[in-house]
Amino acid sequence: MVKYTLNMSIGELPRIDEKYLKRFHKLGLSSVRDLLYHFPNRYEDYSKIVKIENLEQNKVATIQGEIVKIDNIRTFKRRMTITEAIIEDDTGSIKSVWFNQPFLTNNLQVGKKVSLSGKLTKGSKGEYLSNPSYEVLSIYRAPTHTARLIPIYPETIRLGSRYIRYYTKLVLPLADKLKEFIPYEILKKNKLIKLSDSIKNIHFPKTKGIAEKAKQRFAFEELFLLQLFVLKQKNKFQKENAKKIKFNKDLIQNFVKSLPFKLTNAQRKTAWEIFQDLEKTNPMNRLLQGDVGSGKTVVAAMAALEVAQDYQVAFMVPTEILAQQHFKEIKKLIKGLKIGLITSSESKINNKKVKKEELIKRIHEIDILIGTHALIQDKVKFNNLALVIIDEQHRFGVGQRAKLLKEYKNKSVPHFLTMTATPIPRTLALTIYGDLDISLIDEMPKGRQKIITKIISPNKREQAYEFIRNEIKKGRQVFVICPRIEPSKKEITEIDEKTKQLIISPSKLLWQEVKAVKEEYEKLNEKVFPDLKIAMIHGKLKDKDKIMKDFKEKKYDILVSTSVIEVGIDIPNTTVMMIEGADRFGLAQLHQFRGRVGRGKYQSYCFLFSTDGNETSRLKALTKCENGFDLAEKDMAIRGPGQFYGIKQSGLPDLAMTSLKDLPLIKKIREQAKELLEKDSDLKKYPLLKEKVKEFKENIHLE
């Protein structure tokens, strides 16, 4: 007999050919170890075994008996094969029916003792078991698919739970080969069951209670690894050397005096936190959080001003439009320094356009360089960089921060200041963003208006257009946001309730219209507002920046856009933000869109249209709440953490994802991880754990 090992490919297991292997790969499973770590997402309770005479209608149960008759019947009308069997035990007999599984008769034959689990259904020709889970009883092994709690797994087409379950059970004894890597004291303190038992019990639990215990262990494990990873990252960073920037009181006082407004207390407080960090010889790694319009740029500008007296500052933003806007803003705020701009399409030093090569050659002259990704990607070699500012940082995750660190790693590491208007729920601040210190601007500049937010029902659309026309007459401008570029039709897959298989049947394809930018633009331009000047902008357009600039200069009345408009755009003359298909966006994102208006002195409005005209709880939350942080917490509660900042694509294990909602658990685990690292910063005493953290780091990509 072949001996299975953890590292063996699934392809080496019996009767798995190329086709099957591909399906396993589709689920991200290649080795036997992966299979053991492919956890069920629920269980079907087939543990109740009854005599046939005691079967009750519409109740799930298991019966065991002998097949006395079995046939495949083809129904030509419905083009289906029905397998019908009669099963008998010492109390009676019952019919069992399966659809489109003619191969069943290869395995289930008259005379065989079988175990069937399913629901008793009543049809026109009497009672029968409909599509029960089945297996031939054996004296050598306990049932796998019936007569117990059976695991239901994440599946793919033509690879259902039954197959996954079969192979998982086959290799389950290998669970004993998995070495425990969580320190014993920690297991004990948290009442966790050990790894091998957890693997066995998560797949084939005797009770729901023990399955839950197994799940708890893995949730703990994943969060624990995440914490160790994040905290190690943090410790590593703190050991680096950075330039010490002494607080320059006169410089900052003069700057503050030159501003056309008074700083808010929150701006002062956060700026002070930053100045204190800059005075240290280890690098700052701080996240500045503040709602849209709370005035983060000025705070960043103060930090830049200080550092740029003696060193260089890099200011990175996610889009070209934003780079240009910041370039202008910073030039206005900071006089007497050399400020550069670098994006993929344009480079400038102060007011002069230069070739990118020239800018790179003359980089030693520049005090503050503002740019997009080009800043890190284009062999830009600063000669004495001491501060990196990253705006709208939710676009850059831990991974990218680590990359930045590597890029700039020479003699000393620059201080890092990242900024975001997308509030980070507390649970995430302590996990995914756990390597950062956080400063919060929790106060808006005085006199900020409340943006009137309304969900517009389909029959009020005309009125909304009339309102917009009026605003434009008054000289204002309008944004219209749509979720997609082109009309798209979305295919919906579903789970077949009977076989628990994922199906995409062409006849059942549901098509759903999504409002599209192009369509909307044409409609508004030709039908609704033929007399107004309308522009369109989306991610695929080449001359986005020109359109944006023209819009800012009032060459257009209405700008129809995809979500590219989301970040940081500042056009104070716009007073209406109209969002089509608003139900398709997350709350945090909707709040960002809304923040595009109300930036000037005019009363502003946000109109929400939903795809199906319904008022979802999310949209209602938006109309009632103007605080981005509360909205983020709500969004997290409603949609889960997966919706945040690409966390879904992060490769973070499912259980960790679910536990990302559990603040007390996160706090507890963070404490314990900290304690462990304080005693043993390099995990020297725990080589297996160290290895696991490394593996964890390689498998996730938080960006």
**252-271 residues near ligand ADP, rule: CB under 6 A:** 261-264, 267
Which residue's structure tokens are 């830009």? 380
- The Cβ of residue 246 has, within 10 Å, a number of other Cβ atoms equal to 11
| Residue 556 token pair | 């257009």
3-state secondary structure at position 644: coil
139: exposed, middle or buried (Cβ count in 10 Å: 0-12, 13-18, 19+): exposed
At 72, is the secondary structure helix, strand, or coil? strand
Q: Taking the complex as a whole, how short is the minimal distance between the CB of residue 210 and Mg ion, in angstroms?
A: 51
CB of 651 vs Mg ion, minimal distance in Å: 29
Residues linked to residue 339 through DSSP beta bridges, in sequence order: 368
Q: Applying CB under 5 A, which part among 14-22, 198-206, 541-549, 566-574 lies near Mg ion?
A: 566-574
- Shortest Å, Cβ 293 to ligand ADP: 5
Indicate the residue among 299 and 619 with the shorter CB distance to ligand ADP.
299
Nearer to ligand ADP, 160 or 598 (CB): 598
The stretch among 228-236, 337-345, 403-411, 561-569 that binds Mg ion (CB under 5 A) is 561-569
Structure tokens at 363: 């980089």
Q: Supply the minimum distance, in Å, between the C-beta of residue 268 and ligand ADP.
A: 9
Rg over alpha carbons for the chain, rounded to the nearest Å, is 31
Q: Is 440 in the site for ligand ADP (CB under 6 A)?
A: no
Distance CA 457, CA 224 (A): 47
| Residue 265 or 488 having the CB closest to ligand ADP | 265
- Rounded to a whole number of angstroms, the minimum distance from the CB of residue 239 to ligand ADP is 32
- Nearest distance, CB of residue 550 and ligand ADP, angstroms: 20
φ, ψ of residue 670 to 5 degrees: the values are: -60, -45
Q: Which does 287 bind (CB under 5 to 8 A by kind): ligand ADP, Mg ion, none?
A: none
CA distance 693 to 703: 18
Choose the stretch contacting ligand ADP; rule: CB under 6 A; options: 19-27, 198-206, 270-278, 294-302: 294-302
**CB of 308 vs ligand ADP, minimal distance in Å:** 18
Q: Which is nearer to ligand ADP, 291 or 557 (CB)?
A: 291
Task: Return the C-alpha torsion angle 141, 143, 147, 153, nearest 10.
Answer: 140
Contact string (CB under 6 A) for ligand ADP, positions 330-369, x = contact = ----------------------------------------
- Shortest distance in whole angstroms from residue 297 CB to ligand ADP: 3
Nearer of residues 300 and 669 to ligand ADP, judged by Cβ: 300
Contacting range for Mg ion; rule: CB under 5 A; set: 168-176, 563-571, 614-622, 632-640? 563-571
Binding of residue 568 to Mg ion (CB under 5 A): yes
Per CB under 6 A, does 421 bind ligand ADP? yes
Residue 628 touches Mg ion, criterion: CB under 5 A: no
List, in sequence order, every residue forming a beta bridge with 83; answer none if it has no partner.
72, 98
Report the alpha-carbon distance of residue 95 to residue 84 in Å, rounded.
7
Residues 6 or more apart whose CB falls under 8 angstroms from that of 117 comprise: 44, 46, 60, 61, 62, 132, 133, 134, 145, 146, 147, 150
Total residues binding Mg ion (CB under 5 A): 1
Residues with Cβ within 8 Å of 605's Cβ and at least 6 positions away in sequence, in order, are 451, 452, 453, 454, 467, 575, 576, 577, 597
SS3 assignment, position 68: strand
Indicate the length of the chain as a whole number. Answer: 703
CA–CA gap between residue 528 and residue 519 (Å, rounded): 12
Is residue 595 near Mg ion by the rule CB under 5 A? no
Cα angle 433-436-440, degrees, rounded to a multiple of 5:
95
Count of CB atoms within 10 A of residue 464's CB?
A: 17
CB of 294 to ligand ADP, least distance (A): 4
Cβ-based nearer residue to ligand ADP, 238 or 573: 573
Give the Cα separation of 166 and 163 in Å (integer). 5
Q: Which residue is nearest to ligand ADP (CB)?
A: 295
d(C-alpha 65, C-alpha 98), whole Å: 17
One of 293, 399, 640, 642 touching ligand ADP (CB under 6 A): 293
Draw the binding track, 563-602, toward ligand ADP (x: CB under 6 A; -: no contact): -----x-x--------------------------------
Q: What is the DSSP letter of 650?
A: G
445 binds, among Mg ion, ligand ADP, none (CB under 5 to 8 A by kind): ligand ADP
Q: From residue 523 to residue 542, what is the string marking binding to ligand ADP with x (rule CB under 6 A)?
A: --------------------
| Interface segment toward ligand ADP; rule CB under 6 A; list 197-205, 295-303, 625-633, 665-673 | 295-303
Which residue blocks in 381-525 are alpha helix, DSSP H? 398-407, 426-429, 461-473, 517-522
Torsion angles phi and psi, residue 60, rounded to 5: -80, 130
Q: Where are the alpha helices (DSSP H) in 474-569?
A: 517-522, 544-552
* Binding positions for ligand ADP, 27-66, rule CB under 6 A: none
Q: How far is the CB of 409 from ligand ADP (least distance, A)?
A: 29
Residues 6+ positions from 596 with CB-CB distance below 8 Å: 479, 565, 569, 571, 574, 577
Query: Which of 117, 156, 196, 297 is in the footprint of ligand ADP by CB under 6 A?
Result: 297
SS percent in the chain: helix, strand, coil, step 5:
40, 20, 40
Q: 626 and 595 in contact (C-beta within 8 Å)?
A: no
Q: Candidates 148-156, 348-356, 552-560, 567-575 — which segment interacts with Mg ion by CB under 5 A?
A: 567-575
Which residue of 10, 211, 292, 606 would you call a contact of ligand ADP, by CB under 6 A? Answer: 292
Question: Among the candidate windows 145-153, 287-295, 347-355, 582-590, which touches ligand ADP by CB under 6 A?
Answer: 287-295
670 binds, among ligand ADP, Mg ion, none (CB under 5 to 8 A by kind): none
Q: Which stretch binds Mg ion (CB under 5 A): 247-255, 274-282, 506-514, 564-572?
A: 564-572
Q: How many residues interact with ligand ADP (rule CB under 6 A)? A: 17
What residue 570 binds from Mg ion, ligand ADP, none (CB within 5 to 8 A, per partner kind)?
A: ligand ADP
Single residue of 217, 296, 544, 618 touching ligand ADP by CB under 6 A: 296
List contacts with Mg ion (CB under 5 A): 568
List contacts with ligand ADP (CB under 6 A): 261-264, 267, 290, 292-298, 421, 445, 568, 570
